[in-house]
């Protein structure tokens, strides 16, 4: 009898949880986007696949009055041969900006076949997000696109945080991203500037409340929670520790970067512990051999509840470029 794949047994009938690269790297100019694509390809060759996404920034990256040209440049780069792994996305303007619909039209018409996701910034309600998703779907139909592009939503306003559970439940939403800087700025000085960096961002009650609410809403709805960027660019241990705290203390599975120096430390911090990867492999190999019935491992009973945990852990290990054994690789076959 052939061995059954973990996904077909452990999550039968369920919507699969999306496994995204651990870093979402933002770049605004053509020079920085090209530099990021070169680094993405270099690290992918070493790690067996892309370990970070790139988001072309049409919101803050475009000069005033040059929004159309900037969106066209981003679309051309997404469609270029330099986009070797199809993990280059775009952030459009927010719903109050006159150019957001044109952003969608340019990006979907010119690059919709290769867009892994589109990021929506600064919504003030679930209705704002629903409006932009509806416009995206309309554009997809008009261009004859044969699939729906996932949506990532920035939670950075009071209204979006208030309705974060409704936003997370909207069809098509794949990730909730915390926008720390705009969130703090929106409190009119009530939150000190120290909360925009570490350790304050992990200690101020209003900020930690927002982080917990976003993460909980995302995970409960099968959506990836993505942590805000760290402002540190050079101290690799600080970058690594910020990502580690985001993962271990707040449940974030992904994090933004704004400088190439930040990418590898974040990926390293987002990786599962190697010892747990080894245990996961041993348990899943034995479980598969038992056709996913209960097993005993190291004196402890395991069944499908723990198998689901270990399988998702192994998927995260693969997505973050962990070195996996032949037995672990065979589980993905």
So what's the pLDDT on residue 4? Answer: 84
Q: What is the DSSP letter of 234?
A: S
| CA gap 101, 109 in Å, rounded | 12
**Domains, the chain:** 23-270 (3.20.20.60), 274-332 (no CATH)
Q: Taken in order 5, 267, 161, 134, is the CA torsion positive or negative?
A: negative
Distances (CA, A) of 222 to 2, 23, 171, 311: 30, 18, 11, 16
256 φ, ψ (degrees, to nearest 5): -75, 155
Residues of the chain with pLDDT under 50: none
Question: What pLDDT is stored for residue 166 in this prediction?
Answer: 98
Q: pTM higher than 0.75, yes or no?
A: yes
Give residues with Cβ within 8 angstroms of 92, minimum separation 6.
Answer: 58, 59, 71, 100, 103, 104, 107, 118, 119, 120, 121, 132
- How confident is the model at residue 255, as a pLDDT? 98
pLDDT at 241: 97
**pLDDT in the model for residue 1:** 53
């Amino acid at each position: 009898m052939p061995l059954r794949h973990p996904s077909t047994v452990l999550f039968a009938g369920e919507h699969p949880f999306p496994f995204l690269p651990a870093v979402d790297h933002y770049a605004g100019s053509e020079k920085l986007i090209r530099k990021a694509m070169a680094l993405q390809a270099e690290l992918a060759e070493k790690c067996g696949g892309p370990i970070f996404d790139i988001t072309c920034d049409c919101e803050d990256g475009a000069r005033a009055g040059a929004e159309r040209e900037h969106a066209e440049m981003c679309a051309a780069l997404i469609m270029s041969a330099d986009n070797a792994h199809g993990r280059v996305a775009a952030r459009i303007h927010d719903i109050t900006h006159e150019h957001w619909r044109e952003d969608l039209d340019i990006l979907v018409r010119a690059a919709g076949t290769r867009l892994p996701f589109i990021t929506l910034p600064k919504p003030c309600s679930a209705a704002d997000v629903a409006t932009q998703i509806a416009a995206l779907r309309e554009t997809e139909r008009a261009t004859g696109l044969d699939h729906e592009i996932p949506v990532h939503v920035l939670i950075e306003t009071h209204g979006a945080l208030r309705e974060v559970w409704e936003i997370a439940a909207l069809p098509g939403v794949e990730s909730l991203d915390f926008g720390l800087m705009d969130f703090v700025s929106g409190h009119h000085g009530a939150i000190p500037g120290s909360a925009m960096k570490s350790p304050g961002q992990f200690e101020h009650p209003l900020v930690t409340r927002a982080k917990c609410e976003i993460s909980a809403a995302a995970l409960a709805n099968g959506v990836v929670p993505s942590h805000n960027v760290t402002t540190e660019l050079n101290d690799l241990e600080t970058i690594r520790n910020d990502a580690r705290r985001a993962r271990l203390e707040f449940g974030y599975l992904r994090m933004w970067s704004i400088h190439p120096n930040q990418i590898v430390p974040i990926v390293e911090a987002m990786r599962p512990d190697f010892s747990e990867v080894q245990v996961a492999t041993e348990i899943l190999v034995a479980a598969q051999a038992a056709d996913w019935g209960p097993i005993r491992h190291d004196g402890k009973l395991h069944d499908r509840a723990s198998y689901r945990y270990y399988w998702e852990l192994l998927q995260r290990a693969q997505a973050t470029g962990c070195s996996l054994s032949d037995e672990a690789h065979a589980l993905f076959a």
